[in-house]
Amino acid sequence: MTVKLGAHVDQEDPLAEAADRGADLVQFFLGNPQDYKAPKLAYADGEDALKERAAEAGVDLYVHAPYRLNVANTNNRIRIPSRKLLQQTLDKAAEIDVKGVIVHGGHVGDDDDPEAGFDNWRKCIERAELPVPLLIENTAGGENAMARQLDRIARLWEAVQASGNDRLENVGFCLDTCHFHAAGEELPTIVERVLAITGRIDLVHANGSRDEFGSGADRHSNFEEGHIDPADIVAVIEAAGAPVVVETPNADNGQKADLDYLRAHLKS
């Protein structure tokens, strides 16, 4: 099995970052992930140049939507700007021919009925234009999260499928190892359990965890320094058979070390 391997990188020159890591793909933001400003490509030579050069280099591009997005939320001041920004991100990402836009599942308030959040997801997908794949990612914490644990992911997936969008094939799933570990879901069987719900895994975020199982903490570590057995990360990747983004810290070239670990341990 040959799996494409890459990393989350700085947005100014993702192709240089890919070359530095020997990566087959890169993931990056289109602007500040902590605000609602319209997406903007940081690559100095523009959209056409990035798209063409990435194709020439054989590097696939992925975009991570801003963390502030929460299309599930019942607060109009959060949900409506989130929908708008998500669509803007999809449209801008399509200009550089990305393989997918990754977005977190979001949450509702502690006192809200989670069914309202699932229905907000249904409405979001119903109205969305999907020029490129939208990959919904499981999240690590939050008691009223839409995609933290498998029972919620199952309900979210039902809502998405009920949207009636004529491009539902462009809604997929991104599996994050750190997030499932933090959520208290066992990694050795996670792929088969996710596939039983979604029927697909389009991308794996391969991350170690700085915190213990079930902590609810979204804090990534390099593979050999965290609380997840690196062999379990390898097993998830092999079972999923999907492209991989390493989102681990990169101090002292930590991402390159993690990618080298995968290259050494994945079955070819």
Report CA-CA distances (Å) from 41 to 16, 44, 87, 260: 15, 8, 15, 29
Q: Which of 142, 165, 139 is nearest to 150 (CA)?
A: 139
Report CA-CA distances (Å) from 110 to 69, 114, 117, 137: 18, 9, 12, 20
Buried b (16+ CB within 10 A) or exposed e, 229-242: ebebbbbbbebbeb
Count the helices and strands in the chain (H runs, E runs): 9, 10
Amino acid (1-letter code) at residue 233 = I
Q: Which fold has domain 5-265?
A: TIM Barrel (3.20.20)
- Domain ranges (residues) in the chain: 5-265
Cα separation of 120 and 70, whole Å?
10
Question: pLDDT tens per residue, the chain (268 residues)?
Answer: 699 999 999 999 999 999 999 999 999 999 999 999 999 999 999 999 999 999 999 999 999 999 999 999 999 999 999 999 999 999 999 999 999 999 999 999 999 999 999 999 999 999 999 999 999 999 999 889 999 999 999 999 999 999 999 999 999 999 999 999 999 999 999 999 999 999 999 999 999 999 999 999 999 999 999 999 999 999 999 999 999 999 999 999 999 999 999 999 999 6
SS3 103: strand
Amino acid (1-letter code) at residue 83 = R
Type and span of the H or E element at 121: helix 114-127
